[in-house]
Structure 1
Amino acid sequence: MAGILRSGAGRRVWKFGTGALLKRMDRSGRAAQTAPPRHCCPAPMTPTSPAAAVAALLFATLAWGSLFLTAKPVAAQLDPMWFTLIRYTFAASLLALLVHLAGHEPWAKLRRHWRRHALVGLLGYGVFSVLVFHGLRLSLPSHGSVLMATMPFTTMALRWALDGQRPPLRALLGAALALAGVAIVAQVLGQAAEVDRRALLGDALTLAGTLGWVLYTRGMARVPDHSPLEYTALTAVAALPGLAALTGLATLLGWIALPAPAQLLALAPRLAYIALVPTVAAVLAFNAGVKRLGAPLGTLS
C-alpha cells in the first residue's frame, strides 16, 4: 500500500510504501532518503504476545510478594523515607546504566519530559513506597497483599472518572475474583480479632499509597515513544533528586532519624535484594506487561 502527500507552498511530494524508506522530492527533482519513523518499530523489552506480557506481570507479582516479607525487618529499623531513598538510589543507578546502553536517545527524552517524569516518579516510587512501608510498620503483611489487589478497581475507577471509559462487567468481575482470592490466601477474614486502630491506620496508608502507583502506571500512556526500560529508568532518575531533597529536609527538621552506618551494613544483603529483584526486575517486568496489555489489564494480572 502506498500514498502521496503534497504540500502547497514548497511543492514537495512525499512517497511512501510498506517497508520502504521515505523519499522526499524537492524542486530540482533530487531525492533524499530518510529513515522510517521510529514509532513504526516495536519498543525494546515490550512483550510481543499477550502470554509473554502475562508472564512478565506474574513475575512482578511474585517479586513484590517477596518484598513484603523481606522488607518487614528493614522497615522496622529504617524510616520509610530513608528506606525508599536508599532503595531507589541503587535501583536508579543500575537503571541509568541499562538505559544508557540499551535505550534510544534516553537522555534527550528525559530533557523533553523531565517535569512529567519527576512527578510520576515521585508518585510511583516515592509516595507509593513511603506510604506502603509506613503501613507495613503499623499493620500486617497479609493486609498489604490484599490492599495491593485493590489496584485494578482503583485503575478502572480513575479511567471512568478521568477518561469517561466505563469498565466492562467482566473486568469488574475479574477484579473482584482476584481480590477475593488474595483475601482467602492471606487469611484476612480470620485475623479480624487482631485488627485495631493502629492496623486500620496502616491499611489506610497502604491504600493511599496504591493510588500513587496507579497514577504512575497511567503515566506510561502519555509517552508512547518510551520503551518499558526507558519509562522505568527515566522516571526513577528524574524522581531521585526530589526524593533526596525531601528526605534530607525531613532529617534536618528532626522528623526522621538518620540511619547509622552499622545499621545499613547489617541490612545490606536485604537492601541489595530489594533493589535488584522487587525494584529493578519487577518494575521492568510490570511496565513491559502494562505496555502490551494496558493499565487496567496490567494491574488485574
Structure 2
Amino acid sequence: MELPMRPRAAAYPLLAALAWGAMFPILATALARVDPLNLTTARYLFATVILVGILLIREGSAALRLGGRGVEVVVLGVVGFAGFNLLTNLALEHAAPQQISLFVATTPIITQLVRWARDGVRPKPLLLVLSLVALLGVGLVITRGSLAGLGQFGLGGLMMIGAVLGWAVYTHGATRFGGWSPLRFTTLTALAGTAAMLAASIGADAVGWQHAPAAADLVAVTPQLAYAVLVAAVVAVLAWNTGVQRLGAANAALFMNLVPVTTFIVQIARGYRPEGIELIGAAITIAALVAANLAARTRTRPSSPPRPTAVTDPVAVVDPVAVAAR
C-alpha cells in the first residue's frame, strides 16, 4: 500500500534531493586534487564518525547492535553507500556534473521495478506514467533534442546506471527496517559502506590505480569536504531515510527528479548556459513530479488505520534538521 504524501513528510526527501543536486558540482571541483576513491572514503570516514556519535548520544550503545540483521545491513551498506558514492565519483571523471546528475532521475522508475521484483508489488500506473514523463523531460536535457546525444556519456553513464540501481536497492531495503529509527539504519549501513570504501581505496592505492592524498590536498578541498560530509552525507541521508520511512520508497524516490534540476541551477550560476530545449525538459520534469505528489496526496486513505510501528513513534524518528542544528 502506498503511503499518502504529506507536506511535512515530503520536506525530508526534498531536502535530500536539493542537497545532492548541489553536491555534484562541488565534488567535481575537489577531484582535481583528490582521487575519486580516496575522496569518497575521506568523506564517509568523517560522516560515519559524526553519525556514530549522534547515535550514541540519542539512542545509546544498544543501538549499535545489529539484532540478527547483519547480512542485510552489510549488503545495503555496500550496495547503497559504497556502490552509489564510489561509482558517482568515478563517473564525474568522465562527464560533466549536470550530465551525471541526470541519471539520478531514473531512480523513481528503478525503485518501483526493484520493489516489483522483490515484493511482487506492481507499480501504480499513474505514478509509473508520471515517472516516465519526468524521465522524458530529463531525456530532452540529456540529448538536447537530438538522438545523437544519447551516446555522449559512455563509461560515465554506465557507472551511473550501476550507481542508481544500487541506490534504488538501498532505498527499497530501508522500508524493511521499520522498527529502527532512521538514525540507526543510516549509521549502521554507513559503517558497512565505509568499511567497503576504505578497503577499495587501500587496494587501489596499493596497486597504483590512485595515490593517497597528501595533507595539503585534503586542506585544499576542506570546503568541499565540509559540504559533502555535513550536508550531503549526514543531514541529507538522514533526511532521505526519514522520508522513505514516512512516505514509502516509491513516493520518496520521485523527489530524485529534482537532483539534476538543482545541479543545472548551480551550474548556471557558475556560468553554464543551457539551451532552450534543456529548460523545457527541466520544466517537464518538475511538472511531472508535482503532479505525482498531488496524485499521491489525493489518494483515498484506508478505512482502518494502519498498525503503528516504531517509525510512527515521535521518539524513534530523528529530525535530521534538528540534529544538525544542535
Tell me the TM-score normalized by structure 1: 0.77
Cα deviation, residue 55, structure 1: 1.1
Deviates more, 1:215-224 or 1:164-173: 215-224
> Structure 1 residues 100 and 135, CA, compared in 2 at 3 Å: closer, same or farther?
same
Say whether residues 1:101 and 2:101 are aligned partners: no
Partner of 2:229: 275
Within 5 Å, give how 1:26-175 maps onto structure 2: 50-103=6-59, 106-110=62-66, 112-175=68-131
Of 179, 183, 195, the residue aligned with 1:229 is 183
Aligned residues: 253
Q: CA RMSD in A?
A: 2.4
Structure whose residues are more often strand by fraction? 1
Alignment of 1:211 with 2:158, yes or no, is no
Q: Deviations over 1:233-262 (max 9, x none)?
A: 111123322321221122112222211221
Displacement after TM superposition at 1:193 (Å): 9.6
Q: What secondary structure, in the 3-state scheme, does the structure 2 residue paired with 1:177 have?
A: helix
Query: In structure 2, what residue type is equivalent to 1:56?
Result: Y
Specify the alignment match of 1:33 in structure 2. none
- For 1:216 and 1:106, the matched residues in 2 are separated by 23
112-121 or 88-97, which deviates more: 112-121
Q: 1:94: how far off?
A: 0.6
Shift of 1:59: 0.9
Structure 2 counterpart of 1:125, one-letter code: F
Determine which structure has more spread, i.e. the larger CA radius of gyration.
1
Partner deviation per Cα, 1:16-62 (whole Å, 9 max, x = no partner) = xxxxxxxxxxxxxxxxxxxxxxxxxxxxxxxx982112111111111
Question: Where does 1:1-16 land on structure 2 (aligned, <5 Å)?
Answer: none
Matched, 1:257 2:231: no
Cα displacement (A) at 1:83: 1.1
How far off is 1:145 after superposition?
2.3
Q: Deviations over 1:62-94 (max 9, x none)?
A: 100110111111134322211111010011011
Distance 1:106 1:71 in 2: 35
Q: Taking structure 1 as reference, are residues 180 and 245 closer, same or farther at Cα in structure 2, changes over 3 Å only?
A: same
The answer to whether the 8 Å contact 1:178/1:300 transfers is no
Report 1 or 2 for greater relative contact order, CA contacts < 8 Å, sequence distance ≥ 6: 2
Q: Extract unaligned runs of 5+ from structure 2.
A: 256-326
Q: Distance in 2 between matches of 1:141 and 1:190?
A: 16
Residue 51 of structure 2 contacts residue 234 of structure 2 at CA under 8 Å; is this kept in 1? yes
Summarize deviations over 1:158-198 as a string: whole Å, max 9, x none. 122222111121011221233234455xx333286995967
Per-residue Cα deviation, 1:135-154 (whole angstroms, up to 9, x for no partner): 12111222222210101111
**8 Å contact kept, 2:81–2:194:** no
For 1:70 and 1:79, locate their aligned partners in 2 and report how far apart those are by CA, in whole Å.
14
- CA deviation after TM superposition for structure 1 residue 277, in Å: 0.5
Tell me the distance in 2 between the aligned counterparts of 1:112 and 1:50: 33
User: Contact 2:107–2:254 (CA<8 Å) still a contact in 1?
Assistant: yes
Give identity over the alignment, percent.
35
* Preserved CA contact (<8 Å) 1:136 1:206: no
Of the three residues 137, 155, 159, the one matched with 1:201 is: 155
Return the TM-score normalized by structure 2: 0.71
For the 8 Å contact 1:63–1:282, the answer to whether it is kept is yes
